[in-house]
C-alpha cells in the first residue's frame, strides 16, 4: 500500500461482497442499461457485489448524520431543521463517475422510498466557452481555474441550509453551458454531487467543497486504463454524432479515423492526463471511500477511511 492510502482500510472485492447478504439487486438489467455511460461495462452482479454493500454503508453514515444533527439541536437548544445528506463523487474524466452517481441515485430512491434523491454534475459550474475563450483558458477546460467555484460553494451552502437553488446546465452535445436553462433544486433528502473537481477548491483555500459532504467516493484506476476508456468513449461519441450536425463531435466525424484518434490521444495527454496527475488524483485521500477499478472496468479493491 502506498503512503497515500495510509489512512485507509483495504478491502478485497470478495470480502466486500460478503458484507452484505441481500442478493436482490433493486433494479432490472434494462434500468441498468439506461443509466450506464457509453462504454461502461457494469452488470447486475456488480450491483449486488459492490453497490448494495455501499448503500448499506451510506445508511450507517446517514443514521450517524441524523443522530449528530439531533444532538447538536439539543446542545444549541434549537431546531436545526432538515438538511440533505450530500454525497460527493470524484475521479478522472472517463473513469465512470456518471454511471456510479446515477446508479447510487436509483438505489437510494429504491432504498429510501419516500425520499427525494437529486443529482448534479459540477460541469454546470464551468464558465461558458465564451468566458473561457476571453480568459484564454478554453484549452484548460476542466482545470481548477475553469470553474466558477464561488457559485458552486454558494450552491452547496444553500443546499445545506435547506434553501432552494437554481444552477446552470452543461451539455456534452454542444460542449458548453446551455443558454437560458437552469436546474432547480429544492430541499432534497439526498444530493449527489459528481465531478472531477469535487475535492478541490483552489480559489479559496479556507473552504473545500468536501466540507459540505456527508459521504464521498473517489473512483480510481491506472491512468493507462483510463486513457483506453477515454479513447473508447471518444469513438462512441463520434458514432452518435455522425448524423447530427449540431453536435460538437460531428466535426471530427469528417476526419479520417486515424486523424480523429490522434486528436483524442493528444487531448488526453496534454489536457486530461495533466489535470488528473496535477489536480484530481492528489485529492483522492479526501474521500471517505475509494473504489479501485481494474482494466475491465471491474472494481477489484475498495479502500475505506479508517
Is 274 known as a binding-site position? no
Whether the pLDDT of residue 117 is over 90: the answer is yes
Q: What is the set of domains in the chain, with CATH numbers?
A: 8-305 (3.40.50.300)
Task: Using DSSP, state whether 186 is helix, strand or coil.
Answer: strand
Higher pLDDT, residue 193 or 203: 193
Angle between helices 223-241 and 257-267 (to 10 degrees): 130
Residue written as cell 447510487?
Answer: 104
Is 260 known as a binding-site position? no
Is 216 known as a binding-site position? no
Residues 306, 12: Cα–Cα separation, whole Å: 15
Residues 212, 153: Cα–Cα separation, whole Å: 9
Encode pLDDT of 72-94 as tens digits. Answer: 999 999 887 888 999 999 999 99
Is 96 known as a binding-site position? yes
Instruction: Name the pairing type of β-strands 176-186 and 164-171.
Output: antiparallel
Is 88 known as a binding-site position? no
Residues 59, 305: Cα–Cα separation, whole Å: 16
pLDDT, residue 1, reads 42
pLDDT, residue 4, reads 72
Is 89 known as a binding-site position? no
Encode pLDDT of 225-254 as tens digits. Answer: 999 999 999 999 999 899 899 899 999 999
pLDDT, residue 39, reads 76
- When the pLDDT of each residue in the chain is averaged and rounded to a whole number, the result is 92
Grid cell of 208 as nine digits: 473545500
Is 97 known as a binding-site position? yes
Amino acid at each position: 500500500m502506498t503512503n497515500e492510502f495510509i489512512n485507509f482500510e483495504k478491502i478485497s472485492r470478495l470480502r466486500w461482497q460478503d458484507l452484505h447478504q441481500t442478493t436482490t439487486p433493486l433494479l432490472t438489467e434494462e434500468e441498468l442499461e439506461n443509466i450506464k455511460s457509453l462504454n461502461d461495462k457494469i452488470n447486475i452482479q456488480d450491483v449486488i457485489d459492490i453497490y448494495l454493500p455501499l448503500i448499506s454503508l451510506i445508511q450507517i453514515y446517514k443514521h450517524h448524520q441524523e443522530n449528530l444533527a439531533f444532538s447538536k439541536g439539543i446542545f444549541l437548544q434549537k431546531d436545526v431543521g432538515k438538511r440533505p445528506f450530500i454525497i460527493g463523487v470524484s475521479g478522472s474524466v472517463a473513469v465512470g463517475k456518471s454511471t456510479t452517481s446515477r446508479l447510487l441515485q436509483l438505489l437510494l430512491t429504491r432504498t429510501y422510498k419516500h425520499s427525494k434523491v437529486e443529482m448534479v454534475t459540477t460541469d454546470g459550474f464551468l464558465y461558458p466557452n465564451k468566458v473561457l475563450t476571453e480568459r484564454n483558458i478554453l484549452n484548460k477546460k476542466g482545470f481548477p481555474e475553469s470553474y466558477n467555484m464561488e457559485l458552486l460553494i454558494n450552491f452547496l451552502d444553500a443546499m445545506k441550509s435547506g434553501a432552494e437553488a437554481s444552477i446552470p446546465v452543461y451539455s456534452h452535445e454542444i460542449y458548453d453551458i446551455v443558454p437560458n436553462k437552469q436546474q432547480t433544486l429544492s430541499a432534497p433528502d439526498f444530493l449527489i454531487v459528481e465531478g472531477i473537481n469535487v475535492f478541490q477548491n483552489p480559489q479559496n483555500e479556507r473552504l473545500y467543497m468536501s466540507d459540505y459532504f456527508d459521504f464521498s467516493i473517489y473512483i480510481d484506476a491506472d491512468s493507462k486504463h483510463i486513457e483506453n476508456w477515454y479513447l473508447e468513449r471518444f469513438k462512441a461519441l463520434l458514432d452518435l454524432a455522425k448524423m447530427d450536425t449540431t453536435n460538437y463531435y460531428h466535426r471530427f466525424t469528417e476526419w479520417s479515423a486515424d486523424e480523429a484518434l490522434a486528436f483524442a490521444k493528444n487531448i488526453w495527454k496534454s489536457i486530461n492526463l495533466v489535470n488528473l496527475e496535477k489536480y484530481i488524483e492528489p485529492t483522492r485521500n479526501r474521500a471517505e471511500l475509494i473504489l479501485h477499478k481494474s482494466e475491465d472496468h471491474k472494481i477489484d479493491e475498495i479502500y475505506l477511511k479508517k
